[in-house]
Structure 1
Amino acid sequence: MMNRLRVAVGAVLALFVQGVSAQDYPVRAITLVVAFPPGGPTDVAARMLGEQLAEVLKQPVVIANRPGAAGRIGSQMVESAPADGYTLLLANTVTHGMLSAATKPPPYDPVKGFTPVMRLFGYQALMVCSAKLPVRNVEELVAYARSRPNGLVYASSGVGTGAHFAGEMFAAMKKVRAVHVPFSGSAPAMQAVLAGDVDCSFDGLARAQIDAGKVRPIATLGLKRDPHYPDVPTLDEAGAAGFDLGLWQGLLAPAGLRSEVLATLERGLQQALKAPELQERLKLLGLYPLPGTGADLQQAILRDISRYQRLARELAITFE
C-alpha cells in the first residue's frame, strides 16, 4: 500500500514539475541545430533567426552545426533529444524530403520523429557556373557539356541534397552526361566552382560571388525569376519545361513536445519574424517568409517525401 502511494505521489509530482517547467519555458539556453556546415543557406538563416528569437524569449539561442551525411547526423541528434523545447532543428527540403527519399533505409522518421513547429522561409537556388567557363546561358552550357568527354561536372553539398537532385534532373531533362562531385556542404562546393575544379553548382546564397563576377548565373531553379537577377531565366523558361526545385526551411522539435512549449515557440517565432531588420536581411539573401503553421510544415514534409521518393527512383539517386 505504501509503495503504491509513493508511486502515485511521484506521478503527481512529475506532472506538476512538467507543467511548471512548460509554463516557465524557456529558463535556459536553446540549442538550434543546423545539420550543415557554416556558411550555407540553412546556417545563415538559423543565425539570423536565432538572434531575433533570443531577444524575444530572453534566453540565448546557440547555433550548433552538426554537419555530415547531407544532414543525417544533425537530424538524428534532434530526433533523439529530449522533447523539452531546448533542442530544435532548422530543417529544410533536404533533411525532410530529399534525404529520407534517397536513403535506404531512412536514417530517421521525418514525420513521426519530430514535432513540426512552424514553416519559416522559402528560397530558390541558382544554377551558377565558373566564370572561367565559356558559357552564358543554358543553351551554351548544354552544347559545352555535349562537347566534353565527361559531360557536365557539377558540385553539390552531398549525396541526396538539393544540388544533387537539381544536377541529375537537369542532365535527364537536357539529355547530357553529368558527373556529380559531392562535398561536405554548400560552402566547399562553391569553392570548387570558384577554383574551376568543377563546371557549376546549384546554390541559394551565391549572390556575393555573382556580384563580384566570380561565378555566372545561368538559370533559376524555381518557376519564378529571381528579383535580384530579373534577366536570368528559369530553367523552365530555358527549355527544361516543368523544372521546379523551390526549397523551404522550417523549425522542428523532437516528437512529443508539450503543447504549452509549442505555443510559446510559435508566439516567439511570430514576433521574431516581424522584426524589420530580420526581414531586410532575409530579402537581401533571397530568403522570403513562408507564412504557415506547424500543420503547414507537416503537409510540406509529406508532399516532398512523396515527390522525392519518385524522383530518387527515376534518377537512381541513393544514399546507402
Structure 2
Amino acid sequence: MQTEQAREVPVVAGLGSWLPPRVVRNEELAQRLDTSDEWIRTRTGIAERRIAGDGIATIRMAIEAGSRALRSASAQTVDALVLATSTPDQLCPASAPQVATGLGFNGIPAFDVNAVCSGFLYGLASGGGLISSGMAQRVLVIGADTFSTLINPDDRTTMPIFGDGAGAVVLRAGRPDELGALGPIDLHSDGDQAGLLFVPAGGAQQRVDGVPMEAGDYFLAMKGAETFYLAYSRMAESARTVLDRAGWTVADVDRFVGHQANARILYTVAKQLGVPEEKVAVNVDRVGNTVAASIPLALADSARDGTLRTGDRVLLSAFGAGLTWGAAVLRWPDLRVC
C-alpha cells in the first residue's frame, strides 16, 4: 500500500491535438440556411469550424490526437486508455479498444466515458484514478467527437455551433508538487435536466417502446436559453469549488480554459468569477464547439500561441448534456505540444 509520502498523483506529460481538414465557414452556412455571418458571430463568437467526413470519424480522430500526445510525452507505451466521447463509431462496442489497437496497444484496458461536453474532465478523473490507485503508471486520455453527425444540417440554431476534432493528454505517475500534477477535480450531474440537450431517437428506450420516430428525432434537440443560464452558473460554481480546495484565489489564476461552447458563455463565466478577459482561452471562433475535444484543443492552441506558459496556474471548467459539469486545476508543465 502506498504511504502518504510516497503517494503518486497523475501528472500531465504530453499533449496532442488533431482537426479534420475540411473547414466550414459561416458564409458557407449562410448560403443554404436562414442565417448570416454576423448573426452567427454575434450569438456564438464562431467564424468557422472543422467537419469530419471522407472516412474520418471518431476513432480515426482519436488515434491521430493520441499519437501526437504520445509523441509529445516521448512515450512508447501506456497502461490504459480512456476515450471521452458521445459519438462512438458504433453504438456497440465502445470505440476505445479500437483506438488502443490502432495505436499499437492491443491488450491494455480501454474504455469510453460519455459525459458529452464535460467528457474530458470526466476522462481526466478516470485516468487519474487509475494512477492514484496504483493500477497504472501511464494513461492516455483522449477527448474526441464527431458531433456534426448529430446535428440537423437544416437547423440554423444548432448547425453553426458544433465542430469535430480530437485532443489528448498523457498522464504519468508523479509527485503532487510537480508542474503538471492534477489538483482537485470537481464533478457533478443532474439527470432531471436531461431534456435540455438530448437526441430523442436511436437509443434503447426508443427500441423498447417501439415508437415511430421522425427523421429529425435523430438529431440534437436543444433549449438554448435555459442551457445558457445553467452552463455559466454551474461552471462558475464548480470553478470556485476547485479553487477553494486548491487554496487558490481567482487572482492566482493565470489562464482560464473553459469548455468552448460559445464565446458568450466563456466570458460570462469569467465575469462571474472575476477572471479578466485577457486570461480567458478562446478558440471557439476557429473550431466551434468540439464537445469532449474542446478543452484539450483549447489547451493546445494556448500553449502554441504562448498565452499558456510553463508554471501558469490553469483553471479548467466544463458543462454539457446529461446534465454534467465540473472543474479542475493544475500548474502547466514544460512540454512540447504535437
Measured against the shorter chain, the TM-score band is: under 0.3
Q: Which has the higher helix share?
A: 1
Taking structure 2 as the reference length, the TM-score comes to: 0.25
